[in-house]
């Protein structure tokens, strides 16, 4: 028999929006806690008890009383919600929501967060494919300052146990496609398809999230206010009970989701426009440095060195000039976190290589544009410079001054 205290959570309706404040929960009447972990389930009858048991053991050891587990079940025909509900007596941190009107993984997670009381909101699959041990690493990454901590299959210590070649290919293909459509979102993490992460409530509160699709992380990064991201490697385990709900529909939903995010967040969303302008100004200063050094070295009235030699020296000094300014100004926030001498040198070498590649690109583009598009060499050169600058900027942003330093 189910006691009165073991009632199901009522399902929020209306917009998929998470509140800023930790208003006392209608169901429990108590105030805020550290962590709310949502476990979305659909036909996980044979897994749910184990999941709850393992998570409770771990969390009771590290943050006793300061967490809650929220199972959000979509009215599974195998009555997962009922099994979960029967566990509440034994696991007082557990709450269960049974949704009968809505379906879908993303909206399940959001509905769970809507009733959550935690300052940190998390999600973990209910099938034990997400190793619970990683949970504490995610939590400590947030406690150390990250806004979002993502369990990733694509950083050190990460992987998939035994996925078929087809599924690996589809997963990576989806990621590459997403990178093209939404670089500002998918480019920020190594595993944007991860369904195992934690985020500070403050970063997603107020945003209206979208229910489409399987990939709630994309919504969080795309619509939330997430600055620092930490990643923790994990191996996606084999399922031992139940089966995956991923079908072709999820891939179609994913495309739909990408396009919706793209359209609703605007073409420049995620593009660091201020940084790009600073980068452009620094580039301009480099032109003056280059010109001045070239004059000092090669002019008849000065040192009168051969032109090529002078230009190589002038170019390299300009690159050095640009690096110093970019490191101290354009990307100051990033370099401040990586001040070691070795790290600076590494950035400089990367910057140097990328700029040289940019020069090659510049020459190629100039030829292409001039020969095939516009027969005015100065306009052609401007176009080539513009494209090479964007390339230089973007690659340096991603490689030399990584905004998301992988922890
Ligand atoms: N509430 C809810 N949970 C879902 C739904 N689809 C999948 N899940 C749960 O989401 C988690 C991941 O789903 P799964 O099918 O294992 O995906 P896979 O691990 O990528 O193969 C599991 O805990 C599922 O039970 C859904 O439509 N609603
Ligand atoms: Mg799974």
259 Cα–ligand 1 center, Å: 22
* pLDDT tens sequence across 263-288: 777 655 567 778 889 999 999 999 99
- Checking if the pLDDT of 39 tops 60, the result is yes
CB 152 within 8 A of CB 232: yes
What pLDDT is attached to residue 214?
82
Whole-angstrom Cα distance, residue 60 to residue 56?
Answer: 6
Average pLDDT, integer, range 15-30: 68
Whether 407 is covered by a domain: the verdict is no
Q: Are residues 175 and 97 in the same domain?
A: yes
Structure tokens at 132: 């619970």
Ligand 1 nearest-atom number relative to CA 74: 1
- Could you tell me which residue, 382 or 273, shows the higher pLDDT? 382
CB 186 within 8 A of CB 218: yes
Whether 192 is covered by a domain: the verdict is yes
What pLDDT is attached to residue 402?
79
Ligand 1 nearest-atom number relative to CA 127: 23
Whole-angstrom Cα distance, residue 216 to residue 199?
Answer: 12
Q: Are residues 176 and 67 in the same domain?
A: yes
Could you give the 3-state DSSP secondary structure of residue 64? coil
Q: Give the residue whose CA is nearest to atom 11 of ligand 1.
A: 125
| Number of domains present in the structure of the chain | 2
Whole-angstrom Cα distance, residue 335 to residue 345?
Answer: 11
User: Model confidence at 381, in pLDDT bands (50, 70, 90)?
Assistant: confident
Whether 134 is covered by a domain: the verdict is yes
Q: Are residues 59 and 185 in the same domain?
A: yes
108 Cβ inside 6 Å of ligand 1:
yes
Whole-angstrom Cα distance, residue 20 to residue 129?
Answer: 31
234 Cβ inside 6 Å of ligand 1:
no
- Could you tell me which residue, 292 or 405, shows the higher pLDDT? 292
What pLDDT is attached to residue 1?
45
Mean pLDDT of the chain: 90
Whole-angstrom Cα distance, residue 149 to residue 229?
Answer: 6
User: Model confidence at 210, in pLDDT bands (50, 70, 90)?
Assistant: confident
What pLDDT is attached to residue 3?
47
Strand-pair category, 67-73 with 229-233: unpaired
Q: Tell which of 208, 239, 265 closes a domain.
A: 265
Q: Are residues 90 and 223 in the same domain?
A: yes
129 Cβ inside 6 Å of ligand 1:
yes
Whole-angstrom Cα distance, residue 397 to residue 334?
Answer: 10
Q: Tell which of 249, 265, 281 closes a domain.
A: 265
Could you give the 3-state DSSP secondary structure of residue 94? strand
240 Cα–ligand 2 center, Å: 10
Q: Are residues 258 and 220 in the same domain?
A: yes
Q: Tell which of 265, 294, 321 closes a domain.
A: 265
Pocket test for ligand 1, best of 11, 16, 40, 247 (most atoms within 8 A of CB): 40
Q: Are residues 220 and 171 in the same domain?
A: yes
Could you give the 3-state DSSP secondary structure of residue 187? coil
Q: The tokens 């929960």 sit on which residue? A: 25
Q: Give the residue whose CA is nearest to atom 27 of ligand 1.
A: 104
216 Cβ inside 6 Å of ligand 1:
no
Q: Are residues 136 and 245 in the same domain?
A: yes
User: Model confidence at 170, in pLDDT bands (50, 70, 90)?
Assistant: confident
Q: Give the residue whose CA is nearest to atom 9 of ligand 1.
A: 41
Whether 406 is covered by a domain: the verdict is no
Q: Are residues 245 and 281 in the same domain?
A: no
Indicate which ligand has the atom closest to the C-alpha of 75: 1
- Checking if the pLDDT of 23 tops 80, the result is no
74 Cα–ligand 2 center, Å: 15
* pLDDT tens sequence across 321-378: 999 999 999 999 889 888 899 999 999 999 999 999 999 998 999 999 899 888 888 8
Whether 97 is covered by a domain: the verdict is yes
Indicate which ligand has the atom closest to the C-alpha of 51: 1
Least confident of 88-102, 157-171, 182-196, 216-230: 157-171
User: Model confidence at 380, in pLDDT bands (50, 70, 90)?
Assistant: confident
Strand-pair category, 235-236 with 197-200: unpaired
User: How far apart are the two ends of the chain, measured CA to CA in Å?
Assistant: 47
Whole-angstrom Cα distance, residue 234 to residue 153?
Answer: 5
* pLDDT tens sequence across 56-108: 999 999 999 999 999 999 999 999 999 999 999 999 999 999 999 999 999 99
CA nearest to 135, candidates 153, 122, 119: 122
- Checking if the pLDDT of 403 tops 70, the result is no
76 Cβ inside 6 Å of ligand 1:
no
Name residues with Cβ closer than 5 Å to ligand 2, which is an ion.
125, 127, 129
Least confident of 5-9, 50-54, 183-187: 5-9
Q: Give the residue whose CA is nearest to atom 17 of ligand 1.
A: 244
Q: Are residues 300 and 198 in the same domain?
A: no
- CATH, residue 195: 3.90.550.10
Whole-angstrom Cα distance, residue 100 to residue 88?
Answer: 20
169 Cα–ligand 2 center, Å: 17
Alpha-carbon distances of 203 from 7, 20, 148, rounded to whole Å:
30, 9, 8
CB 197 within 8 A of CB 151: yes
44 Cβ inside 6 Å of ligand 1:
yes
Q: Are residues 164 and 77 in the same domain?
A: yes
Whether 230 is covered by a domain: the verdict is yes
Whether 202 is covered by a domain: the verdict is yes
Q: Are residues 170 and 284 in the same domain?
A: no
Backbone angles phi, psi at 153, to 5 degrees: -85, -5
Indicate which ligand has the atom closest to the C-alpha of 124: 1
42 Cβ inside 6 Å of ligand 1:
yes
What pLDDT is attached to residue 42?
97
Q: Are residues 260 and 277 in the same domain?
A: no
What pLDDT is attached to residue 364?
92
- Could you tell me which residue, 373 or 142, shows the higher pLDDT? 142
| Domain containing residue 224 | 4-265
Whole-angstrom Cα distance, residue 219 to residue 243?
Answer: 25
What pLDDT is attached to residue 268?
59
Whether 204 is covered by a domain: the verdict is yes
369 Cα–ligand 1 center, Å: 50
């Amino acid at each position: 028999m189910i006691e009165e205290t073991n009632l199901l959570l009522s399902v929020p309706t209306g917009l998929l929006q998470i509140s800023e404040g930790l208003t006392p929960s209608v169901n429990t009447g108590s105030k805020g806690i550290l962590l709310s972990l949502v476990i979305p389930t659909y036909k996980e009858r044979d897994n749910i008890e184990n999941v709850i048991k393992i998570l409770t053991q771990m969390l009771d050891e590290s943050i006793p009383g300061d967490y809650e587990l929220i199972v959000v079940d979509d009215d599974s025909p195998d009555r997962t919600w009922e099994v979960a509900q029967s566990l509440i007596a034994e696991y007082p941190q557990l709450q269960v929501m049974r949704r009968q009107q809505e379906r879908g993984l993303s909206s399940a997670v959001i509905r769970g967060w809507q009733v959550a009381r935690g300052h940190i909101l998390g999600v973990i699959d209910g099938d034990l494919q997400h190793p619970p041990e990683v949970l504490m690493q995610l939590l400590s990454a947030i406690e150390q300052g990250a806004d979002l901590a993502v369990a990733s299959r694509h950083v050190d210590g990460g992987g998939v146990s035994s996925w078929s070649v087809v599924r690996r290919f589809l997963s990576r293909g989806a990621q590459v496609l997403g990178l093209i459509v939404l670089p500002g979102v998918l480019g920020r993490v190594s595993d944007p398809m991860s369904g195992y992460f934690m985020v500070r409530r403050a970063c997603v509160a107020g945003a209206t999230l979208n229910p489409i699709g399987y990939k709630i992380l994309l919504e969080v990064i795309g619509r939330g206010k997430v600055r620092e991201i930490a990643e923790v490697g994990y191996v996606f385990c084999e399922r031992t009970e139940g089966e995956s709900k991923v079908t072709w529909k999820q891939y179609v939903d994913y495309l739909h989701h990408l396009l919706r995010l793209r359209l609703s967040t605007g073409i420049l969303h995620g593009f660091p426009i201020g940084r790009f302008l600073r980068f452009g100004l620094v580039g301009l200063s480099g032109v003056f440095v280059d010109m001045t050094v070239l004059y000092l070295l090669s002019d008849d009235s000065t040192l009168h060195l051969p032109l090529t030699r002078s230009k190589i020296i002038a170019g390299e000094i300009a690159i050095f000039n640009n690096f110093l300014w970019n490191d101290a100004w354009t990307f100051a926030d990033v370099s401040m976190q990586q001040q070691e001498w070795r790290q600076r040198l590494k950035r400089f070498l990367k910057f140097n290589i990328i700029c040289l590649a940019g020069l090659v690109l510049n020459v190629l583009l100039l030829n292409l544009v001039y020969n095939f598009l516009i027969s005015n060499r100065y306009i052609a050169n401007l176009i080539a410079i513009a494209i090479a600058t964007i390339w230089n900027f973007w690659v340096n942003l991603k490689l030399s001054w990584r905004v998301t330093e992988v922890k």
